[in-house]
Structure 1
Amino acid sequence: MEKDIAESPKIPSNNINSSKAGKAVYPILIAISISHLLNDTLQSIIPAIYPVVKESFSLNFAQIGLITLTFQLAASIFQPFVGFYTDRKPKPFSLAIGMGFTLIGLILLSVAPSFEFLIFSVGLVGIGSSIFHPEASRVAHMASGGRRGMAQSVFQLGGNFGSSIGPLLAALIIVPYGQLNIVWFSALAILAIFILFNIGKWYQRKVKIKARRPSVEHNIFHNLSQKKVFISVGILMVLIFSKYIYLVSMTSYYTFYMIHKFGASVQDSQVYLFIFLFAITAGTIIGGPLGDRIGRKYVIWGSILGVAPFSLLLPHMNLFWTVILTIPIGVILASAFSAILVYAQELFPGKVGMISGLFFGYAFGLAGIGSALLGSLADRTSIEYVYQICAYLPLIGLITAFLPNIGKD
């Protein structure tokens, strides 16, 4: 389908392989990255306030996991359907509408009087995320000028940076002053709506241009059989499982781990979480451009399997070395998702929205289920035991060897 071909507005030719195809639309890439930053800053407030709501609502770890499960399922279930629908019928202003759901969810979260109301509020934030990610990923693809890995890394950079500063802002604003102060973050949602509305206008012009160019054709990235394509998708799904279950053990329970094992204060634990999430931000920009240059398969291999030595050491370290080890873990792990997503998009040319929604949705869904299961495990054993078990997950990266070579891979 013509909708999904990356195309710069200054490109007169329909051939994406032309010399001008490398001219990415950087103002749009930066704008969508900033929007991703704001979206994921708001999302990251949810796990960042867990110590606050755990005390105020007298929650156990299983209930904390249920909050994450609700949010992640709401953020995941709709994504493939949004992507599939907008592959056929682009909706440029759905980005701003999705952020509207997030805005409402945040306001309700700030005044939630009960655990059930808390669940409902985070569900609305999750729905906003499910609308945002497939279409935002498509915008990055359209503005890439053919440099898809670079564009996805720029897009992910904003999201990961937002995820890293959310806990820090929560430590400064919410932890000392209480749940009601979540409402101040609604200003970020309003700013995001403004930016996304203007991106929507650019996106709408692109749709009109493409409608006048029905002869545009897709790049064909491979000649794999349908069986090999679906086997490859299965391998990628398993790798996402490895990455995101380990990642959720850090994002949802790292603060509790630092408090329980080392006696850290709530605010100090938020700073330690910020260090880990900032390391993810620093590593994000590496994976996409490196995949464009040397091949995505090698980036995927190194990113997931490369974490294993550090993850295996982490549960046995003191406070200082625990904090230090989270830095290479974050940097190395971060490079995987952009490479995996673009690899999957190249397996299914023309299905950018559906594939983006499928992989973002699957990742978020796994994170939610994993958080609930890990919370239940922590209640039955200990938070330290959870980290000892999760340390082995990156070894699943060995199955990357079975991915076929496509493009530069």
Structure 2
Amino acid sequence: MPDRPSLFDPVRLGELQLANRIAMAPLTRNRAAPGRVPSPLAATYYAQRASAGLIVTEATQISPLGQGYLDTPGIYSAEQVEGWKAVTRAVHEAGGRIVVQLWHVGRISHVSLLPEGEVPVAPSAIRANTKTFTANGFEDVSEPRALRLDELPGIVADYRRAAANAIEAGFDGVEVHAANGYLLDQFLRSGSNHRTDAYGGSIENRARLLVEVMQAVTAEIGAGRTGIRLSPVTPANDVSDADPQPLFEHVAERLGGLGLAFVHVIEGATGGPRDVPAREGEAFDYAALRRLAKAPWIVNNGYDGALAERTVATGEADVVAFGRPFISNPDLVERLRRELPLAPSDRATYYGGGARGYTDYPALAA
């Protein structure tokens, strides 16, 4: 009988060869320089964490209209691509692998963050009951407008261009953000998508934009360098669906024909309980999604070292992603390997600021 895989064994995800099965999940830190360019500190920050088998960057907007939080980076301008080149170079020199998370926030935005005269866009003109981070701190999101049918090809093209820019910037691949109540997730969900055209109503129609985006991205850079993030049952950003199991089984089946590098799934409520049901008294069946998606499987949300090790050893996932532990433990892989305590993080420095609470957490050797 073959040995069971360890969290610290290498693994291949599509064209991505990883040194271990620990991923750094995307973490919004709101420290971009003017022009939504990654700051020089970002290169240090990510290189410090390059012992992760795979780094998924902070969510990165694909267009000016895709921004929803203060000082988040983009990947649509030449200056932003140049800024990311310093990040990817630093990570590669440290022996790591890094993909960028491509993001359009949709309705989770505020007019102060968008080009003058613009309002947030969404599948339907329904404001989310949530807040976003602006120059004034956390504020209610603004009222959105529904995207016109003739605007949707432009959204798909923005994702395709962002993927091409990612490869130019030196990334090993991309992760398309289709989770946590942002634009692609808004189209998927019955609670936020009330459209009556080809992009609303049935499950097939609500999934249409996501499928078109994934087809465009994989055609541009190759499926072996393309992943996706999903959060089937999270209530994040006021997202909801009447029956998520058949919805996400349809999504997984459509993804299964693409040959993706990975599917990255948030189990339960993002940053909260893991046991969120699909419907009252009905557990969500993640294993069904994995069978249909036919891709390497990354899991995330509330894992500690012991649970991560068991999950990989039993074959329930190929990789486990950790988010907040990476903030204050740049050497998280080594701490998990040696079963050492994790350093606490300072929540006051999560969003915005400079080096404090960003690049000044020491590694064990220090």
Same fold (TM over 0.5): no
**Structure 2 length normalisation: TM-score?**
0.31
Q: Greater strand percent: which structure?
A: 2
Q: TM-score, normalised by structure 1?
A: 0.29
Q: Which structure would you say has the larger Rg?
A: 1
Bigger helix fraction: 1
